[in-house]
């Protein structure tokens, strides 16, 4: 068995830091995580770090984490998504082999400094801060431990040179998400609903086929987010 190398120290990196595999794998978990980022310096930092990581680890399978928004048809790419797409292209072109995992909104622990939708909603409710909420916005979600289970199982089957989306198949309206968090916290969200559309649909047939092949039980369903909220913790 060989040691698994992980670049990064965030929540995603910590999911895989102690794992070992039968082949050399490099997890790159040190990318830009805020989908609203427009800072070219942050994009350049990730690009340079990723290029250096690939060049310093010849022959290793590169595991890169990306966004499910890139799998959606006719979804407008902002600077962040354009950057993630260019990073994917670098991985495909310059690594010996690779697996790119695309996923949507990830939730697992609450940290007020994290730039995720779920943490933003939690923080706003806990601090009684009013937020604007789009009337036509939908999001896919996945719990960190379920993402970990899917990634590890996928890699154990020696998959390579593939891009795959991992997510609970149910697409939540943003107001559904807020209501479930309100019920979890037993506090109301101060919000103004505005007219705005932000949504996409995912083809998760590749994921579903793999889950059936390996008999993974993840509890994916309409009630998935509500059920997983009981494991959501404060960091």
Q: What is the pLDDT of residue 1?
A: 40
Residues of the chain above pLDDT 90, percent: 76
Which residue in this structure is represented by tokens 């930092």? 45
Residue 112 — very low, low, confident or very high, per pLDDT cuts 50/70/90?
Answer: low
The alpha carbon of 19 is separated from its chain's Cα centroid by a whole number of angstroms, namely 19
Residue 91 host element (H or E): helix 79-94
- Where in the chain are the domains? 2-234
125-181 pLDDT, tens digit each: 999 999 999 999 999 999 999 999 999 999 998 889 999 999 999 999 999 999 999
**pLDDT band (50, 70, 90) for residue 22:** low
The pLDDT tens digits of the residues spanning 193-215 come to 999 999 999 999 999 999 999 99
In 95-222, where does DSSP find H-type helix?
117-126, 144-156, 174-185, 205-214
Q: How far is CA 96 from CA 52, 91, 133, 215, 219, in A?
A: 14, 9, 43, 30, 35
Q: How many C-beta neighbours within 10 Å does residue 94 have?
A: 13
Q: Locate tokens 């010996």: which residue?
A: 96
Instruction: Return the CATH fold of 2-234.
Output: Rossmann fold (3.40.50)
Residue 79 has pLDDT above 90, yes or no: yes
Predicted confidence at residue 110, as pLDDT, reads 80
Q: What does the chain come to in residues?
A: 235
pLDDT for 117 equals 93
Please enumerate in sequence order all residues whose Cβ is within 8 A of that of 89, keeping only pairs 6 or more positions apart, or say none.
none
Report the pLDDT value the prediction gives residue 98, as an integer from 0 to 100: 97
């Amino acid at each position: 068995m060989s040691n698994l190398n992980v670049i990064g120290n965030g929540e995603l990196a910590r999911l895989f830091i102690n794992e070992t595999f039968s082949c050399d794998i490099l997890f790159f978990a040190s990318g830009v995580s805020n989908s609203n980022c427009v800072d070219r310096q942050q994009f350049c930092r990730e690009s340079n770090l990723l290029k250096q990581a690939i060049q310093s680890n010849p022959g290793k399978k590169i595991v890169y984490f990306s966004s499910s928004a890139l799998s959606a048809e006719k979804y407008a790419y902002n600077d962040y998504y354009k950057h993630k797409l260019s990073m994917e292209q670098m991985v495909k072109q310059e690594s010996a082999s690779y697996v790119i995992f695309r996923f949507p909104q990830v939730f697992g622990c609450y940290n007020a400094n994290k730039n995720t939708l779920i943490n933003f909603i939690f923080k706003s409710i806990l601090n009684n801060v009013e937020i604007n909420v789009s009337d036509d916005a939908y999001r896919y979600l996945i719990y960190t431990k379920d993402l970990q289970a899917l990634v590890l199982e996928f890699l154990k089957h020696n998959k390579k040179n593939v891009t795959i989306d991992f997510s609970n198949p149910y697409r939540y309206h943003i107001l559904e998400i807020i209501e479930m968090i309100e019920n979890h916290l037993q506090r109301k969200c101060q919000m103004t609903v505005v007219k705005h559309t932000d949504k996409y649909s995912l083809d998760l047939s590749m994921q579903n086929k793999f889950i059936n092949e390996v008999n993974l039980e993840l509890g994916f369903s309409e009630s998935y987010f509500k059920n997983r909220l009981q494991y959501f913790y404060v960091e």
